[in-house]
Structure 1
Amino acid sequence: MSAVPGFPGGAAVSNLRVYDWEAADGLHGGTPHVHTASSEAYVVVAGRGEVHTVTPEGSAADALAPGTVLWFGPGTVHRLVNHGGLEITTVMQNAGLPEAGDAVFTFPRAVLADRAAYEAAARLSQDAPEEERAALARARRDLAVEGYLELVAAPGEDGGEALREFHRLAAEIVRPRVEAWREIWREGVEREAELTRRQLASLERGDPGAMAEAAVVRTEPLPGPRHFGMCGRLRKRRPRPSGGADGPAR
């Protein structure tokens, strides 16, 4: 077993300051999208806002305020709306999959149906100057809002079919990535499950097992400006063994 444990359950955590850019419908916020294989949780730490979602049950809006904890499964179309200073700690299932393309933006159907057009519209280089990255992130957000508004405007039974069609297109977009995703999943979630299986077997024998490798892990923010993410400016963190600058607990 590893002496430096991963985050519980093979999940990932990041801090998100939601965009305050105004969209075509007058709302301020992030880029509507869906996760094809992962659940996501929000823990609101500051500000106010809403998360707008689309599921087979229809459209909904849930208020977000400090202390709110909310999560949703794969296939849930979601859009963060910022009413002022909205900051969230996100907990993402299947660490590594979102970065490997698990998320699909709600671009208009013509873009979703053309893989090359989709990839071009979704691409965002983090190496470009900040102003250029901001412009590209905002243009990507605006295109996704355009498709999102078409999706939620579909009336009655057509709305359900529109969501099913979006899901089909999203699955087709990510299909070539699934083989690589399996390896990420094996190294993350499956590995964590296997470690627990081994530990239960050890305890059944009266053997402390992994308890002999007890460890505390702290994180520190990566240097440099926040990244431009799907819904806002992301601050990622890297783990390090505890007992560093702060010293051991007393």
Structure 2
Amino acid sequence: MTTPLFPGGVAVSGLRVYDWEAEDGCRAGSPHLHTASSEGYVVTAGSGEVHTVSATGRAVYRLEPGEVVWFSPGTVHRLVNHGDLELVVVMQNAGLPEAGDAVLTFPAAVLDDPLAYAAAAALPADAGDAERADAARARRDLATRGYLELLDDLERRGDAALAELHARAARLVQPRVAHWRSLWESTVAAETERTREQLVSLASGDPGLLGEAGVVRGEPAPGERRYGMCGRLQSWKWPSA
């Protein structure tokens, strides 16, 4: 048996949501969606909201310690910090979000230009903390501008506005999908197959993989919390299948 993945092939991270004020007065993270992975929140401290746009329309969910909220791919979501909001974030398909599964809600012209999108989404790799913070805030502000345009468009055209955003997101990530499939097949799909084979063994009275049981302790990623889309992230190193 290989080194076990975190249960379900998910990844978890600790998130301190940005408290930078946006142009609409909300202290919030960067609105975005995921194209292949579901996401969940377990609120551990503070208070706030998550604002969503999905096939069922717009919604606002209160976030306080003990609240659990999750949503499927395609849901536009924006975390709003009312004070010291902290979450444990659970991401489906560990590895895919890090490989570009998320698409920020930049204005349409940026989403339609892969080079412009890449430039707007990137943070400077070799820069001090203050410069990286400025870049993360500028990225958040551009995503917020596109998000507010989306909300206006939803008022005018309804579901067609969200459908157009989804189409733009799909076109943007299409070149990455072959790599994602390889990652997914070697991790989540392999873990699912391992479980299927283990159920076959157990059904015949065979212990199967039980004799190869193992334990993994997650190692924190080095350095300070990194600047994520929605806030400062504490992450851990995840084993490959």
Fold shared per TM-score above 0.5: yes
Do the aligned partners of 1:53 and 1:76 also contact (CA within 8 Å) in 2? yes
TM-score (norm 1): 0.92
| Separation (CA, whole Å) in 2 of partners of 1:126 and 1:118 | 17
Alignment match, 2:165: 166
Do the aligned partners of 2:10 and 2:94 also contact (CA within 8 Å) in 1? yes
**10-19 vs 148-157, which deviates more?**
148-157
Alignment match, 2:75: 76
Alignment match, 1:205: 204
Runs of 5+ unmatched residues, structure 2: none
Query: CA-atom RMSD, angstroms?
Result: 1.4
Do the aligned partners of 1:217 and 1:239 also contact (CA within 8 Å) in 2? no
- The DSSP-based 3-state class of the residue aligned with 2:217 is strand
Alignment match, 1:5: 4
Runs of 5+ unmatched residues, structure 1: 241-250
Alignment match, 1:222: 221
| Separation (CA, whole Å) in 2 of partners of 1:152 and 1:168 | 17
| Separation (CA, whole Å) in 2 of partners of 1:98 and 1:34 | 10
| Separation (CA, whole Å) in 1 of partners of 2:115 and 2:4 | 39
Alignment match, 1:191: 190
Alignment match, 1:154: 153
* Alignment partner of 1:37 is 2:36: yes
| Separation (CA, whole Å) in 2 of partners of 1:12 and 1:167 | 24
Alignment match, 1:124: 123
- The DSSP-based 3-state class of the residue aligned with 1:216 is coil
* Matched positions, count: 239
Alignment match, 1:52: 51
Do the aligned partners of 1:31 and 1:231 also contact (CA within 8 Å) in 2? yes
Do the aligned partners of 1:51 and 1:61 also contact (CA within 8 Å) in 2? yes
How far is the alpha carbon of 1:156 from its aligned partner?
A: 4.2
Do the aligned partners of 1:13 and 1:90 also contact (CA within 8 Å) in 2? yes
TM-score (norm 2): 0.95
Alignment match, 2:19: 20
Percent identity (aligned): 62
| Separation (CA, whole Å) in 1 of partners of 2:122 and 2:223 | 21
